[in-house]
Each structure stands twice: as structure tokens, then as C-alpha cells.
């Protein structure tokens, strides 16, 4: 996974007019505060869909409609343009249709909207490419995403009403086996494509309308907190990680201060340094080595004795003044390097590495360029988390 943010270079003009991707990302959220930029599997949630939209290369422009400064900042990092929505369409009661209409009022050049939901992080460019063809070449006015479910539905019994529940659409005496039943199609909320004239008439679905069936593996929707860990596992397994093939990591280079340790140093009464680290990180290093991945620890300080005390069987380079040079002296291509850093002196290495990560408490400059942002802080399991991420991606190769 490349560490740099994907670009969203405009697709060439095509017959049928200007098609714009539009991601609605309001700052307020009843379920999860600032959900749209909360880290999911190492990326801001919105980053997953912006990457897919940009890499599909079917849109003449990619936009995020937001009312929040931090969301705007993240959107631009992933190559999107930003439309600052008005307060009128930033309320809890505002609808997607109202927000899209406002966007179109400010962008008369747009003929087709691909409204992509930020809460569908397993979206792949291949889906968007097929839908764009359905609009541009097959003559449909609107296309929306669905997923097939095999669920038996029953009528709801209202409180205080004396009645029994009834089956909806099937006969309990002849319950079909799953393999004998096609199931039913449900909107999964991943995207809604529509031509301008439909939206201006008050519809996201209408005219010559058709659905697009997504595979169940890619059909992920996040609404409340309980969805988050499930979505994270699905994205790690089925998500889209960019155009480039996943790099074959041969070595993990890890900054000691602020990554393997917390970066804080206490002094005992006799003047000895006391550092803090997490035993789980030692497990992470061991797991990498079991998979044939080397580990190189580096530090700007002279801390050989400290590392020796940890009894870590891996290479150590201390008193480092040029981190880029140290990595290049390993004799590997940057694509074969995974780099875990936390400070400004790590930025160049994070940009160059085939895979890159920072602890949750890394400096802003390092977080800006990292391909993966850990949930855990330095010295509190970030190395273990990144190791597990690398190993999981190795299983996808």
C-alpha cells in the first residue's frame, strides 16, 4: 500500500457531460462524533471512498461537501475538491437530496452526480467504472447500489395490539432452502448516481432507473459504534488498497523513541534513565521475524544499552543523523521497506517506503504522509498493531 495519498486527476470529458463524484461529509453525527474522518483500518473513513473514486478515473471532478474545517483538510489530502455547504443543509434534519441540490446550484458545469456514501469503505473502483458505463453508454438516468440478502421477513406487532406476526413474502410451510431461493435485493447505501434533471426535479432514483448489485463482501455500511469493529475487519480483508500491487515487505524499520517506546524518559534518584514500552510490541517483532520479515530499529540517540536490556534479537542502529541514508544502506528498494516513524525527521522515509505507519500520537507532519495511522500510541502497542497489519496484508498477496 503506497504511503502517499491518491490523486484524483480528472477523467477526460466524455459523451454525456461532466460526471462529478460527491461525498457528503457533515461535521455533526448523532452516532459517532466526526465519524467521517475517524481512523478505520489505518485510514480516515472518508479516505477509503475518495481513493476508490479517484482511482476509478471516470469522474471529471471529485468533491466533498462539508461544513467542517478538519474534514476539509482531510478531503484535500486525498485529492478531493471541497464545497463548503451552507448552514441550511448542515442540520440533523437536512436530507442528502437538499445537500446535492445546493451543490448543483453552485456548479452548473456538472451534468451527472455520483453520490458516494462515506460510510461504505469497501467500495472498489471496478464498481464505479461499471456504473459510469451504465449512465454514459447504456442510457440510464439513475443507478443505485443494492446487495442480495437471504432473510425471512415477518410483520411487526405494535405494542398493545392483540395480533400475531405474519410471514412477509414466503410460506412457513414451505421454507425454501438458501440454495433454492434467489433472496431479495436491498439498498446498501453505497452510492446513488443520477443525472442533473432528475435531482432538480426532486429525485435521486427515477426516470430510466436501474440497480447495480454489489457483492456481499464489498457491501459494508457504518451507522453506529457497533458497526465499526466489524467494518474494520471487512475492510482489512476485502477493501481496496490502491492501484499499485501490495508491496512485498522484506524489512520493517522502526524508530525507537516514540514508536517502540513512549518517547518519555524518567530519571531515577541515582540519575538512571527509565523508559516505557509495551511487551506486546516484542510479540509483534517476533511475529514479523517468524514470517521472514527483518526488523531494523533506529534511533537518533545513543541507546545501545537500553536495547540490549530489552533482549530484542534484531538489528539496531543508533546515533542516526540521516534516516533516509540508513534505510538506503540496507541495499533494498524502498518498496520492500515498511517504515514506522513518529516525528518530522521520519517524514521523508514515510513518503518513500512501500508501506508506512505512525502511532496515534505521532506529530501532525508524520500523520499527513503516513499510509496507516495506528490506534495505539508509541510505546503502547503501535509496533504490534503495525506488525499485525503487515502480516494480514501479506495474506492478501
29-32 long-range contacts, CB within 8 A, separation 24+: 30/92, 31/223, 31/224, 31/225, 32/222, 32/224, 32/225, 32/228
Name 349's Cβ contacts closer than 8 Å, sequence gap at least 6. Answer: 253, 323, 324, 327, 339, 341, 356
Stated pTM of the model = 0.80
175 as an active site residue: the answer is: yes
Dump pLDDT digits (tens) for 108-142. Answer: 999 999 999 999 999 999 999 999 999 999 999 99
Average pLDDT of span 239-260: 90
Q: What is the pLDDT of residue 277?
A: 82
Domains (range + CATH), the chain: 18-170+179-238 (3.90.550.10), 251-394 (3.40.50.1000)
Q: In this predicted model, which residue has the larger pLDDT, 59 or 247?
A: 59
Of 4-18, 164-178, 220-234, 262-276, the range with the highest mean pLDDT is: 164-178
Q: What is the mean pLDDT of residues 191-201?
A: 96
Q: How many angstroms separate the CA atoms of 53 and 129, rounded? A: 9
Mean per-residue pLDDT, 322-339: 95
Give the pLDDT confidence of 176-191 residue by residue, as tens digits.
888 888 889 999 999 9
Per-residue pLDDT, 178? 82
- Residues, the chain, total? 397
C-beta neighbour count of 197 within 10 angstroms: 12
Q: What is the pLDDT of residue 323?
A: 95
- Maximum CA pair distance of the chain? 81
Q: What pLDDT band is residue 303 in, cutting at 50, 70 and 90?
A: low
Which pLDDT tens digit goes with each residue over 377-388?
Answer: 999 999 999 999
Closest CA to 292 of 248, 339, 335: 248
Out of 84, 149, 153, 175, which one is annotated catalytic?
175
pLDDT at position 82 is: 97
Q: Check: CB of residue 185 under 8 Å from CB of residue 214.
A: no
Where does the pLDDT of residue 170 fall: very low under 50, low under 70, confident under 90, or very high at 90 and above? confident
Q: How high is the pLDDT of residue 306?
A: 65
The predicted pLDDT at position 262 comes to 86
Q: Higher pLDDT residue, 244 or 136?
A: 136
Count other C-beta atoms under 10 Å from residue 116's C-beta: 27
Cβ neighbors of 152 (< 8 A, separation 6 or more) are 167, 170, 175
Cα–Cα distance measured from residue 191 to residue 22, given in angstroms and rounded to the nearest whole number: 10
Amino acid at each position: 500500500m503506497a504511503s502517499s495519498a491518491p490523486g484524483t486527476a480528472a477523467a477526460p470529458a466524455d459523451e454525456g457531460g461532466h460526471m462529478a463524484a460527491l461525498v457528503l461529509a457533515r461535521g455533526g453525527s448523532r452516532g459517532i462524533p466526526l465519524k467521517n474522518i475517524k481512523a478505520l483500518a489505518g485510514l480516515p473513513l472518508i479516505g477509503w471512498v475518495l481513493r476508490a473514486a479517484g482511482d476509478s478515473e471516470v469522474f471529471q471532478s471529485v468533491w466533498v461537501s462539508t461544513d467542517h474545517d478538519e474534514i476539509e483538510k482531510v478531503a484535500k489530502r486525498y485529492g478531493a475538491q471541497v464545497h463548503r455547504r451552507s448552514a441550511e443543509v448542515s442540520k440533523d434534519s437536512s436530507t442528502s437530496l437538499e445537500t446535492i441540490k445546493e451543490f448543483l446550484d453552485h456548479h452548473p458545469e456538472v451534468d451527472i452526480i455520483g453520490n458516494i456514501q462515506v460510510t461504505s469503505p469497501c467500495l472498489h473502483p471496478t464498481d464505479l467504472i461499471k456504473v459510469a458505463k451504465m449512465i454514459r453508454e447504456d442510457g440510464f438516468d439513475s443507478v443505485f447500489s443494492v446487495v442480495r440478502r437471504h432473510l425471512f421477513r415477518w410483520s411487526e406487532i405494535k405494542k398493545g395490539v392483540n395480533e400475531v406476526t405474519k410471514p412477509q413474502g414466503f410460506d412457513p410451510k414451505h421454507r425454501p432452502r438458501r440454495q433454492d431461493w434467489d433472496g431479495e435485493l436491498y439498498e446498501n447505501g453505497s452510492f446513488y448516481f443520477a443525472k442533473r434533471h432528475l435531482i432538480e426535479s426532486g429525485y435521486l432514483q427515477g426516470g430510466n432507473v436501474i440497480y447495480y448489485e454489489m457483492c456481499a463482501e464489498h457491501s459494508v455500511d457504518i451507522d453506529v459504534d457497533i458497526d465499526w469493529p466489524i467494518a474494520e475487519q471487512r475492510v482489512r480483508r476485502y477493501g481496496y488498497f490502491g492501484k499499485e500491487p501490495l508491496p512485498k515487505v522484506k524489512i520493517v524499520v522502526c524508530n525507537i523513541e516514540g514508536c517502540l517506546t513512549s518517547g518519555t524518559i524518567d530519571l531515577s534518584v541515582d540519575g538512571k534513565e527509565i523508559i516505557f514500552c509495551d511487551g506486546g510490541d516484542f510479540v509483534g517483532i517476533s511475529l514479523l521475524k517468524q514470517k521472514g520479515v527483518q526488523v531494523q530499529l533506529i534511533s537518533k540517540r545513543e541507546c545501545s544499552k537500553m536495547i540490549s536490556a530489552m533482549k530484542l534479537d534484531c538489528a539496531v542502529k543508533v546515533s542516526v543523523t540521516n534516516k533516509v541514508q540508513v534505510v538506503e544502506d540496507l541495499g533494498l528498494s524502498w518498496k520492500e521497506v515498511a517504515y514506522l516513524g513518529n516525528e518530522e525527521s521520519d517524514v521523508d522515509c514515510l513518503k518513500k517506503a512501500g508501506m508506512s505507519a505512525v502511532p496515534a500520537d505521532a506529530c501532525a507532519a508524520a500523520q499527513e504522509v503516513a499510509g496507516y495511522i495506528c490506534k495505539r500510541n508509541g510505546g503502547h502497542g503501535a509496533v504490534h498493531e503495525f506488525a499485525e497489519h503487515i502480516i494480514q496484508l501479506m495474506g492478501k498477496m
